[in-house]
Amino acid sequence: MQKHLKTYRLLLNSIMISLKSSGLILIGILCSQYLFSQQPDEMTEEFKGRNLREELYIRTDRDIYFSGEQVWLKVYKLSNLTNAPWDLSKVVYVELLDKNNFPVKQIKVKTEGNSVSSGFMLPENISSGNYAIRAYTNWMKNWPADMFFYMTISVINPFENIDHLELPPQGIFTGNTNNLSGLLPGTVSGTRLPENPGIKGSNNSINFKITLQKPDYSSREKVSVMISATDMEGNPAEADLSVSVAKSAVVNSTTKNITSRLTIQDPVLSETINIHDYLPELEGHLISGYIRLKSNDEPLRKADVSLTFVGKTARCQFSRTDEKGRFNFLIKETGINEIVIQPLSPDLTGYYVELIQPFTSKFGNYKPATFYLDSSKIREINNAVISMQINNIYEPFRQKKPGTEKKKIPDFYGKPENTINMSDYIELTSLREVVKEIIPNVYTLKQNGKYDFKLINKFRGQPFENKPLVLVDGVPIYDFEKVLSINSKDIERADIINTRYFYSENVFDGIVSFITKKGNLSAIEFDNSIFRQVYEACVVQNEFYSPDYSNDSLKNNRIPDYRNTLYWVPDLQTRKDGKTEIGFFTSDESADYTILVEGISSDGKTGSSNVSFSVK
């Protein structure tokens, strides 16, 4: 019971902050009274199924893509009570599903506010067809999968056999049936099932006005765009925008936008909702799982366990399993990392770890429309395919902005009392000699035929009673004989914390951390029975490349520029006067382009607009 109340209080705190900013504090107070006046099991189905839900909406840079291309997207996080932006969950799960609900791509997107931009690369061997992009948070998994966000994109693989594709009922397709190089499909319009549910719509909308200097531009010319936003009464509106500029042939301006999506009514729930089955990820990504005994599959109850990231930085987290042997670790790392999960006690052996998959296996009724070959845009689509190929060839030669330097993550124990860099000393034959001759306040003691590490307490000047926490490349190692057998040539440095260290409910009598030159645990004979695997955390955000041809040397270079998406800015904000500006440069290709603007204000007003121009 206490665990549930703690969860609800954390959730309520976030909700109250969000509602307060929207001027709906009264609703928050009513929710709080309801939450804490009843037991979790006493909550009515109406409360569980209708209140305090998250909504998501995704806008992609365009609607039609080619195999091997990047899909850029923006995720809006909204409250179902107000339709206003809502910063609750810090992780959004995005999947690309084929017609059989097979996940072609899965990414975890870390968010810091009410919206976030991200993207993924389409596989080069992906089949031509319509694909569903769906998105949800961990907390949304408490509700049916039909209540996730869904949208459709079309993908064309110009190098595959197309025998598996269907012809339109009118039979308008004629051409090469062996591959798509001679005839390529365009956009598909079909009956779409209701996308993510929202509350009943209102007339609260934003009008966006897109102003260009002229309708036609030349190659590598700057395009300046003024965007103004007003509400229904003509007042300036502050809004969170996404702006894409892409070839008109790969943009379907009739696609349902955020305004139409929010006017769809809630579906009727046909199953019981338990809002505490999946916790909202209020601070970061949760890695959850179970530890059980191999002998009888019994859970390892109330056991202290650690999750560590292998590397030159010590990133350890500690947790305690519940009665079911379940653990939860909150991580804020991004990218692909190698993790190790193990009990803190060396006496606990004969166990196995089973991670809970973060992506749900529940699927709803949403299906993309059938993908047909359309001859209406053959010329434009063929040109876009050629452009994609040219762009891919010359991509390595582009002068891109230097990437932002990755923020260094500190060791979990902070600044050590002593750091010993092995390059500062003469080379010794073994790590045992290094400990004896070089590392201060650390010594080894042989007991019962085995060596133990001992640390001198910084404040008392005497050895700690218990063993220290010993790390190699950030991972706790309890077999000290293996640690001491590491070749001293492989050690880069050693960090010493000779004070008692407290981490949540865990207390360590000092820490000794050895970092190897490779930083990948290869210097030690690692116990294969310990759970160790590569884990993909939230994706590292990439920046959209948009060349600046105001520099003559770049404008006159001979590297071809054939981008299908000219510009993508997912995090644009209008000012208090309701205005903002963007600028970008055209490419080398003559084509028609569409500028699509879409956004939402802090009080839930939405809108979208588009305008076209030509490059000649």
Residue pLDDT, tens place only, 348-382: 889 999 999 999 999 999 999 888 766 777 889 88
Burial code (b: 16+ CB inside 10 Å, e: under 16) for 409-446 equals eebbbeebbeebebeeeeebeebbebbeebbebbeeee
Q: Whole-angstrom distance between the N-terminal and C-terminal Cα of the chain?
A: 68
Question: Residue 46 carries which side chain, given as an amino acid letter?
Answer: E
CA dihedral 108, 132, 71, 129 (to 10 degrees): 140
Res 379: pLDDT: 87
pLDDT of residue 8: 44
Whole-angstrom Cα distance, residue 383 to residue 590? 10
The whole-angstrom distance between residue 196's C-alpha and the CA centroid of its chain comes to 20
In percent, the amount of the chain with pLDDT more than 90 equals 60
Q: What are phi and psi of 372, to 5 degrees?
A: -115, 155
Distance (Å, whole) CA 614 – CA 612? 7
Highest mean pLDDT among 106-120, 251-265, 387-401, 445-459: 106-120
pLDDT digits (tens, 9 = 90+) for 38-92: 344 444 444 444 567 899 999 999 999 999 999 999 999 999 888 899 999 999 9
Which range (93-107, 197-211, 334-348, 503-517) has the least confidence? Answer: 197-211
Q: Could you tell me which residue, 193 or 511, shows the higher pLDDT? A: 511
CA 60 vs CA 63, 74, 233, 245, 247: distances in Å: 7, 6, 29, 11, 14
Report the pLDDT value the prediction gives residue 38, as an integer from 0 to 100: 38
Residue 159 pLDDT > 90, yes or no? no
- pLDDT at residue 275, as a whole number: 66
Task: Sketch out the chain's domains with CATH numbers.
Answer: 2-43 (no CATH), 54-168+176-269+361-398+545-615 (2.60.40.1940), 418-536 (2.170.130.10)
Nearest-5° Cα angle at 342, 337 to 348: 170
Give ∠ CA 484-487-488 in degrees, rounded to 5. 90
Is residue 428 predicted with pLDDT exceeding 80?
Answer: yes
pLDDT of res. 192: 39
The answer, yes or no, to whether residue 397 has pLDDT greater than 50, is: yes
Q: Are 497 and 511 in contact (CB under 8 A)?
A: yes
Using an 8 Å Cβ cutoff, are 31 and 12 in contact?
A: yes
Tokens of 70: 């990047």
Which has more pLDDT, 264 or 472? 472
Q: What is the pTM of this model?
A: 0.84
Judged against a pLDDT cut of 60, whether residue 268 lies above it is answered with no
- At 390 the pLDDT is 92
pLDDT at 3 over 60: no
Mean pLDDT across the stretch 477-500? 92
Calpha distance 431→421 (Å, rounded): 13
The span from the CA of 413 to the CA of 506, in Å, is 13
Sheet holding 475-476, edge to edge: 418-421, 491-503, 506-516, 469-472, 475-476
Task: Supply the pLDDT for residue 474.
Answer: 95
Task: Give the 3-state secondary structure of residue 592.
Answer: strand
Give the pLDDT confidence score for residue 180 in this predicted structure.
35
- Residue 503: what pLDDT? 85
Between residues 370 and 118, which one has the greater pLDDT?
118
- Cα-flanking dihedrals φ and ψ of residue 498, to 5°? -100, 45
Amino acid at the residue 402: P
How would residue 163 be classed by pLDDT, with cut points 50, 70 and 90?
A: low
Tell me what pLDDT residue 526 has.
Answer: 79
Percent of all residues in the chain with a pLDDT value above 70, rounded to a whole number: 79
Q: What is the per-residue pLDDT for 278? A: 86
Residue 108 CB: number of other CB atoms within 10 A?
19
pLDDT score, position 194: 33
* Secondary structure letter of residue 237 according to DSSP: -
* pLDDT of 6 higher than 60: no
pLDDT mean across residues, the chain: 83
| 2-21 helix and 25-37 helix, angle to the nearest 10 degrees | 170
pLDDT at position 272 is 61
pLDDT tens for each residue of 530-546: 899 999 999 988 889 89
- pLDDT score recorded for residue 258: 60
SS3 call for 386: helix
pLDDT of residue 212: 96
CB atoms within 10 A of CB 319: 22
Q: Is the pLDDT of residue 193 over 50?
A: no
pLDDT at 341: 96
Task: Examine the pLDDT at 398 and tell me if it is beyond 60.
Answer: yes
Q: Is the dihedral of CA 296, 297, 303, 309 positive or negative?
A: positive
Identify the band that residue 402 occupies on the pLDDT scale cut at 50, 70 and 90.
low
| Residue 192 DSSP SS3 | coil
